[in-house]
Structure formats: C-alpha cells, structure tokens
Amino acid sequence: MNSDQIKDYLDEKADQYNQQSFIADDPVCIPHQFTKKEDIEIIGFLVATIAWGNRKSIIKNAKKLVELMENQPYQFILNYSSSKELNFVHRTFNAVDLDFFFRSLRNLYENHGGLEHAFPAHGTTFERIISFRDKFTATTHETRSLKHLANPATGSSAKRINMFLRWMIRNDKRGVDFGIWSKHAMSELYVPLDVHTGISARKLGLINRKANDWKSLEELMSHLKTFCPEDPCKYDFALFGLSVNKEI
C-alpha cells in the first residue's frame, strides 16, 4: 500500500475500534467507574502504571487498587500516610513501589497543583514527560521503583505514560478517552508504542527499527502526524486493534 492507502486503511480501522464497546475489555474501564476529575486521573495513572501483561490480569489487579483506595482515589491520596505493608502486587510492581507512588501523588497534589499541572504546558512530549518524571521522583524512593516510571532519556518509548496522557487529553466525543485535561492539545499526543502497535506499524512500513524505543516512536509519529495532524493518536486504536484481533 502507498501512503494514501495506509492512511485510508487506518482511518477505517480507527473508526471501527474507537467505540465505547472497546472499554469493557481494556484497562480504561477502571477510571470509567468514576466521574470526579481527580479520581479519574489518579486511578487512571495507577492503572496505566500496571498496564503490562495480560489485560484480564491488569483489570483484576486494578480493581484491587480501587478497593485498596476505598473507592475514593483522591481522598485516599490526600490522606495517605506511608505504609509498606500494602497488600498489593502486580508482576514486579509491589507494596514498596505502590507506597512510593501514593506518596509521590500526594506530593503532586499538595505542591504542584495535581497530575495535570505536573506535566508542563509547553515543550515537546519528550520534555514534558522528563519534567513530570523529575517531579514524581523527587519523593524519597527505593531505586527498584524507578523501573516503573519510564524515562525517555534512556530510550524508553514511555508506553504507559503516553497511554495515560491519551486517556486524559484526547477529546473526540467517542466516549473512550476522557478529554478532561485542557492544558494540552491532542495534536501533541504520542501513541503508546507496545508489542501490538509495533507489529502493525512494522507490517505497514511505518517503523523500520526493530526496538520499541523512543526513536521508533518518533519514526511512527512522523507518519501519523501527516495522516491526521490534529489527532495523530487516534491511530492507536487502529494499530492496536489490528494486531490484537489478528487482522494483520
């Protein structure tokens, strides 16, 4: 396929998969249980953080997070006192890591105006994630916990952070993404590059590099931004859906 054909194909698939029916089997179903902005963004960030592996397992453990936070994420974070005895584990993310994340979130709301304001309004996506990471890791932590917060400066594609940003910023009225953050434009979002999006992108010739790293993400975005400059991240639905549903 040439570039125009690829665009038309991805537009069709984005429209097919970007539907509310997508929510039920995706981790985004967890923040959809809430209506308050702060609840949505806090649980959304935590769910995105553990969003690797089997989707059923992610959703199961995300529900445990909601229970642990007594179904009130924002109030829980504001009132949180440090404890490493939390009964939670998702793969390599354990109670020590969760305690750090809880304390860091409390710090963001107490000293930085919350999650939305922790991401600068200006600069590249790369720079914004780095700035956010610097604020988040200012809270005392163990070295082991850093692996759960992606660092584009070391080459990471920051898949989970980019997915969280997509949830918070995209506002296309389709009902999957929330669009509750107004400081950032959809045009600035980056696709959460993972195994599935990488497979589809390579089969369509949108990525030549083998690694799912930041350089590959930049390569992919250079194509997607020409397809739809105002909302390039809509193609995440197409690329992910094509691979996970074995259509490509």
Chain segment 93-119, per-residue pLDDT in tens: 999 999 999 999 999 999 999 999 999
pLDDT score for 82: 82
Chain segment 151-195, per-residue pLDDT in tens: 999 999 999 999 999 999 999 999 999 999 998 999 999 999 999
pLDDT score for 83: 76
pLDDT score for 123: 92
What is the pTM for the complete model shown?
A: 0.96
Ranges of the chain with pLDDT below 70: 84
What ranges do the domains of the chain cover?
A: 3-244
Distance CA 123, CA 35 (A): 30
Share of the chain above pLDDT 90, in %: 94
**Taking a C-beta distance cutoff of 8 angstroms, is the pair 47, 30 a contact?**
yes
Residue of 140, 133, 139 whose CA lies nearest to 118: 133
pLDDT score for 183: 87
H or E element: which one contains 202?
helix 195-203
Q: What is the dihedral of CA 159, 248, 211, 51, to 10 degrees?
A: 20
